[in-house]
Structure 1
Amino acid sequence: MNTFRVLKTAVTDVAATTAQPGATTARTGVLNLSKGFTLQTPNFLAPTSRGVVPHLSPDNLEKNTGVEGVFVALEDFIEKAPQRVPPLYTYPSTLRSFISLPTSTFLLLSPRRSPSITCPKANSDANLSILTSVGFRDLPIKDYVSAVIRLEPDIVLGITDIANTVSPGKNRVQKMVNRTEKWLDELLGRVYAGDNAITDEKNGGKLPAVFAPILPLEKERQRLYLTYLVENVEKLSGLVFTAAESVDVIPQELEGLPKLQSDVTGGPHQVLEMIGRGIDLFNVGFVGTMTDAGIALHFTFSNDEAEGTEDGKEMLELATDMWDAKFATDLSPLEEGCECYTCKTHHKAYIRHCLEAKEMTAWVLLQIHNLKVVERFFGSVRRSIEEGWWEKGRSGFEAKYKKDMPVGTGLGPRLRGYQYKSVGGEGRLNEPAYRSLDSGDEGGL
């Protein structure tokens, strides 16, 4: 059985003075999944590309990081179905086995990547528009539900019908609400009942944890859907958000469920803001973005952050661009005192050399270090709530560190097309590998 228990709630100054009784705020908890995984919250998931955390092989993920869960998108594996059945569907085992995920890491299955790329074709009642490795196509809702049954993830996200426009009209909002409820009802029906359901006999009672999506709409505009969630709360194991503000629309009856933010692109300041809103789990997309850019994270969250932040003192960077030429002869680790594999075995000069040489080892080492920084960060946040210094740590962090991440100055590893949003008139995504020997010709051969 999937359960979640809130251990301690941190009542912030703002919550104590302006919020209504029972208002959400930072909290610690423990999520127990029926398949044997236990997760302390607040915590993070690592996003994947085709089931793999970028730059890390499964053995490196297990040996050199503290990642406890990964975010996997089904659209990564669809390819040219139905014209050609994707290998994922013909493989005689589960998704965990297909991607060689370590047994110590839980697997969350989502229909789409997060943030998802906008598709030119809108969703329909029976289909979700997705972007595969070979282009846009439709994913029948029944196929996603069947994939959940077949692939046996530990956590599964319900499908959200999100409009392509920022301000959808009344009719589009009604479709969003109706479709999201209909699709979730179909998923719950297959998981808990029916001839094709996941049965106790098949999995020893180990049902996947179903996280229901919350629409990025005002409470009144999705009231009927929220009522449906309250009526089926015993079948739900969590909630998933695409917009942090949506946490404010949650009825009190759903507050006991863990809350997942499907993507975090803004860095640790955004994470702290959302933890203060009561979010428990985070898909930390910004980590991979920084690693790709050749940037090493080095922020910390501690009880004495406020010290030394007096007026006139320059705020610190959240990370360091390792392309900077000043690191060419620097034999110090990425971060003094860091216990990650990268900092214990390599120095800045080596990592910068690998970046300049386009050697993939650079991004492997940066990813290991960056994930360790995030792991320590969440561990300190949990400790701050348990020990009663959450508010002091948060205010000190905001006073000490700049809001924005630095911008990388070098070229990252070769990127896939779906990592960009299509914008008319933009240039090539990757520079050509070869150029003319004629120095006056800037074009590639």
Structure 2
Amino acid sequence: MNTFRVLKAAVTDVATTQSGARIGVLQLSKGFTLHTPNFIAPTSRGVVPHLSPDNLDRNTGVVGVYVALEDFIEKAPQRVPPLYTWPGTLRDFISLPADNFLILAPRRSPAIVCPKPNSDANISILTSVGFRDLPVKDYVSAAVKLRPDIVISVADIPNMEKPGKTRVPKIPVRTERWLDELIGRTNAGTSSKEAGTDAAAEHRPAVFAPALSLEHVKQRLYIDYLVDNVDKLCGLVFTEADHLLDLPDELQQLAKYHTDVTSGPHEILELIDRGVDMFNANFTGLATDAGIALHFTFGDGSNEGGVPLEPTDLATDMWNEKFATDLSPLEDGCVCYACRKHHKAYIQHCLAAKEMTAWVLLQIHNLNVMDRFFEAVRKSIDQGRWETDKETFAQRYKRELPEKTGKGPRLRGYQYKSAGGDKKLNDPAYRSLDVDAPEEEEGVPEADAAGLQKSGFAQVASDW
């Protein structure tokens, strides 16, 4: 049974309109438990960047990962993506450790805006080879066939900051219809033909519904639908926090999941104060890519006397050459693998040599910093120190992370926002030694007639 329970709410000023921070527990049907507030690790093609599955399992406290379907279907519709014919689960496909639960979403976090708008039956996605359409029925079939622990329903998010008058009414209607289709399929369970075993046929993932960034009056019918089906939902997914407090009481008791946190821990604390329970801590991976080591702590009582503090940095740029002879760990007192086994000089050397071990060690350390941070947040709320600890943290640390100074690993195509006329961000890995040789033209493979007939989950269901 997939359930979320609020265990305790922080003491808040009754004059405020905010719901306040809270601690809770999310229990999933396969035995996974997530104590909230907590963070989820986003993945790239099913893998937490820079970490192999064994490193993720042994050297981090990550309990859940976020996986996007658009990472795996670049071959469609010309060819059948391997994931579409995979006989097992998505967990098996990406070799996810047994102790980590899996969240399936249609798009990455944060998603890149696609130039083509969504339609009634498709959403626009960005694969590793360009923009594509993903039929919603294919995504629903994927949610059933691949058996994730949590599935996020599709939201009709427009490709513009402020949708027009004719566009706004379509957003809640489409989102509700797609959510209804997902609930219908997941509540029915996985068919024995799709699952292959009786045990798998009983699997029902927890469904998280998208919360739309629209005024309450413009999505009233959609919110009414959520209230009517609240017993079939486990959580709500937000990409913006503007409408967190506009929800009816019935929906306030669901887990709240924010998927686009990119600025840093100050933003996380502000969202926790507004009742958010789960986060995609995207800035952690961005810091690792930039060669930056996090070193912030929460709730250590360092400002109990109320003396104003000079704000310190949230992190350290390890590209700085002054660390070339520094034999101290990334953070004093840290017991993560990177700090126990290596020092700043070694990591700075690996960065300068473009040795990928540097990013492996930084990712291990940064994820452990996040794990300690959220553990301290939960303890602070439980002990009634939330307001004091939050104010102390705001005084103690600068809001922005340090600027990137070095050149990190090769950028993946979805790590930047595309614009017309932009040049490629990565230098070519290979070049022709014959300067007079014409450049090879990029082309799209010719469509395979058989592949076109079996390009989606819905179309190949008969083959399972």
The TM-score by the shorter chain falls in which range? over 0.9
Match status 1:17 vs 2:7: no
- DSSP-derived class of the 1:368 partner: helix
* Rounded Cα–Cα distance in structure 2 between residues aligned with 1:228 and 1:73: 26
Change (3 A) 1:385 1:228: same
The corresponding residue for 1:54 is: 49
The corresponding residue for 1:67 is: 62
Match status 1:143 vs 2:138: yes
Letter in 2 for 1:293: A
Task: Select the residue among 327, 334, 358 that pairs with 1:338.
Answer: 334
Task: Select the residue among 16, 28, 32 that pairs with 1:33.
Answer: 28
TM-score, with normalisation over the residues of structure 1? 0.93
1:303·1:389 contact (CA, 8 Å) conserved in 2? Answer: no
Match status 1:321 vs 2:317: yes
Match status 1:387 vs 2:399: no
- For residue 390 of structure 1, report the CA deviation from its aligned partner: 0.7
Task: Select the residue among 142, 148, 154 that pairs with 1:153.
Answer: 148
Deviations, residues 121-172 of structure 1 (Å, cap 9, x unaligned)? 1000000100111111100000000001110000000101111121112221
Letter in 2 for 1:360: M
- For residue 205 of structure 1, report the CA deviation from its aligned partner: 4.3
The corresponding residue for 1:430 is: 426
Match status 1:277 vs 2:274: yes
1:107·1:153 contact (CA, 8 Å) conserved in 2? Answer: yes
Alignment of 1:33-432 (within 5 A): 33-193=28-188, 196=191, 202-203=199-200, 205-307=202-304, 310-311=307-308, 313-432=309-428
- DSSP-derived class of the 1:139 partner: strand
Letter in 1 for 2:125: I
Higher relative contact order (CA 8 A, sep 6+): 2
1:303·1:384 contact (CA, 8 Å) conserved in 2? Answer: no
2:64·2:103 contact (CA, 8 Å) conserved in 1? Answer: yes
- DSSP-derived class of the 2:331 partner: coil
- For residue 201 of structure 1, report the CA deviation from its aligned partner: 5.1
* Rounded Cα–Cα distance in structure 2 between residues aligned with 1:422 and 1:249: 33
Q: Greater CA deviation, 183-192 or 374-383? A: 183-192
The corresponding residue for 2:442 is: none
1:108·1:155 contact (CA, 8 Å) conserved in 2? Answer: yes
Letter in 2 for 1:213: P
1:30·1:41 contact (CA, 8 Å) conserved in 2? Answer: yes
1:4·1:258 contact (CA, 8 Å) conserved in 2? Answer: yes
Letter in 2 for 1:32: Q
Deviations, residues 275-322 of structure 1 (Å, cap 9, x unaligned)? 0000000011000000000000000001414348744x5310000000
- For residue 251 of structure 1, report the CA deviation from its aligned partner: 1.0
* Rounded Cα–Cα distance in structure 2 between residues aligned with 1:434 and 1:374: 38
* Rounded Cα–Cα distance in structure 2 between residues aligned with 1:347 and 1:260: 36
* Rounded Cα–Cα distance in structure 1 between residues aligned with 2:302 and 2:352: 35
* Rounded Cα–Cα distance in structure 2 between residues aligned with 1:241 and 1:416: 25
Deviations, residues 56-96 of structure 1 (Å, cap 9, x unaligned)? 00000000000000000000000121221111112211000
* Unmatched 5+ stretches in structure 2: 433-464
- DSSP-derived class of the 2:313 partner: coil
* Rounded Cα–Cα distance in structure 2 between residues aligned with 1:276 and 1:323: 34
Q: Greater CA deviation, 229-238 or 420-429? A: 420-429
* Unmatched 5+ stretches in structure 1: 437-445
* Rounded Cα–Cα distance in structure 2 between residues aligned with 1:328 and 1:177: 55
- DSSP-derived class of the 2:221 partner: helix
The corresponding residue for 1:440 is: none
- For residue 116 of structure 1, report the CA deviation from its aligned partner: 0.6
Q: Report the RMSD for the aligned CA atoms in angstroms.
A: 2.0
- For residue 430 of structure 1, report the CA deviation from its aligned partner: 1.8
Q: Greater CA deviation, 74-83 or 46-55? A: 74-83
Deviations, residues 6-58 of structure 1 (Å, cap 9, x unaligned)? 11100223xx2232xxx521000011000110110000100000000000000
* Rounded Cα–Cα distance in structure 2 between residues aligned with 1:417 and 1:366: 22
Change (3 A) 1:277 1:245: same
Change (3 A) 1:35 1:195: closer
- DSSP-derived class of the 1:245 partner: coil
* Rounded Cα–Cα distance in structure 1 between residues aligned with 2:326 and 2:299: 27
- DSSP-derived class of the 1:4 partner: strand
